Amino acid sequence: MILGSINPAVLFAALMVAATPILLAAIGELVVEKAGVLNLGVEGMMIIGAVTGFIIAVNSGSPFLGFIGAALGGMVLSLLFALLTQALMTNQVASGLALTLFGLGLSALIGQKYVGITPPRTPKLDLGPLSDIPFLGRAVFSHDIMVYLTIALVGGVWWFLKYSRAGMILRAVGENHDAAHALGYHVKRVRVFAIMFGGACAGLGGAYLSLIRVPQWTEGMTVGAGWIALALVVFASWRPWRAMAGAYLFGGVVVLQLNLQAAGVRIPVEYLSMSPYLITIAVLVIISSGKARGSLNAPGSLNRPFHASS
């Protein structure tokens, strides 16, 4: 019995860890896209976050400083994107792709001396008696703080977009930037802040990979996580909780297929490796095609450059 060797509590615990980096990047990109900007540089910002977080954590001995550094690293790279697309009015798609390539190259360069080093361990968050609950304790309450912060961040973003005035302005800018401008809102300022938030989140996601999930630095270690995050945002119809569900689904299938590989199932490894991507996309496509409005939920000004015409 193959599945008998897989412990569901351990599986769920591993799923949350596997989903966290993608979810971080996705929730950041969701805010960026809600503001009407398409930043395809998520992968690049993630890997820059992974390398800066790793270097700072190794040199300072503190994983928390590492995470802060990673957020700043991702944010600095996103500012380059903001400068290109918001000030110099370059094409967002081309700039985002360039950002990814640039991030991958730059991270390989600055990370050269750090290959093969083990980073300082990030401690588990001590939740006291909660961790002793059977099953749930192992599956849900035995993680590092970043897992919980990420869930809190999803809730925060959901609340911000739905209930806060600033969130409403951000949605307005993404929905119709000409109208927002006519009402006197600062389209570019809002967008730059959103881009910076997206960069910080992507950086955190990258650092989660290099400091906790793997934990090591290797060149190109994000292996497409940024692209999955981008796809999640679209298929989640720009809804935060749905993005979380998608990320957990993806994480779940990743973990499951790894377990199946280890258990020696007689399915070629290549098929198992591609399964998380296929299943996640298939499920989210079905969800978002259900209602006509789901697919029409895209921000109206997404990927349209804004020129203030007097």
Partner 1 sequence: MRAPLLRLEGLTKAYPGVVANDDVSFDIGEGQMHALLGENGAGKSTLVKMIYGLVKPDKGQMTLRGQPFAPSQPSQARRSGVAMVFQHFSLFDALDVAENVALGMENPPPLRDLARRIRDVSEEYGLPLDPARLVGELSAGERQRVEIVRCLLQDPKLLIMDEPTSVLTPQEVDILFLTLRKLSAEGTAILYISHKLEEIRALCDEATILRGGQKVATCDPREKSARELAELMVGQVLTPPERADKPKGDVVLQVDNLSLASNNPFGTSLKNISFTLRKGEVLGIAGVAGNGQDELLLMLSGELLAPSAQVRLKGAPVGHLGPNGRRALGLVAAPEERLGHAAAPDMSLTENALLSAARRKMLTKHGFIDWRKTERFADDIIGRFDVRTPGPHVLARALSGGNLQKFVIGREIELDPDVIIVNQPTWGVDAAAAATIRQALLDLAAKGAGVLVISQDLDELLEISDRFAALNEGRLSDTRPAKGLTVEDIGLMMGGAGDMHVAHKASA
Minimum CB distance to partner 1 smaller for 176 or for 218: 176
Minimum CB distance to partner 1 smaller for 118 or for 309: 309
Nearest approach in angstroms of CB 80 to partner 1 is 29
Nearest approach in angstroms of CB 296 to partner 1 is 6
Q: Closest by alpha carbon to 77, among 31, 111, 115, 43? A: 43
Relative orientation angle of helices 240-262 and 225-235, to the nearest 10 degrees = 130
Burial of 90 per CB tally in 10 Å (0-12, 13-18, 19+) = middle
d(Cα 280, Cα 209) in Å, to the nearest integer?
20
Minimum CB distance to partner 1 smaller for 138 or for 181: 181
Nearest approach in angstroms of CB 183 to partner 1 is 5
Cβ atoms of residues 54 and 211 within 8 Å: yes
* Sites for partner 1 among residues 170-189 (CB under 8 A): 171-172, 175-176, 178-180, 182-185
Minimum CB distance to partner 1 smaller for 262 or for 308: 308
Cβ atoms of residues 169 and 190 within 8 Å: yes
300 binds partner 1 (CB under 8 A): yes
Report the amino acid identity of residue 94. A
Cβ atoms of residues 32 and 195 within 8 Å: yes
d(Cα 156, Cα 151) in Å, to the nearest integer?
9
296 binds partner 1 (CB under 8 A): yes
Q: Which stretch binds partner 1 (CB under 8 A): 116-124, 153-161, 166-174, 225-233?
A: 166-174
* Sites for partner 1 among residues 97-136 (CB under 8 A): none
Among 2, 130, 168, 286, binds partner 1 (CB under 8 A): 168
Among 111, 299, 302, 306, binds partner 1 (CB under 8 A): 299
d(Cα 272, Cα 284) in Å, to the nearest integer?
19
**What residue ranges bind partner 1 (CB under 8 A)?**
165, 168-169, 171-172, 175-176, 178-180, 182-185, 292, 296-297, 299-300, 310
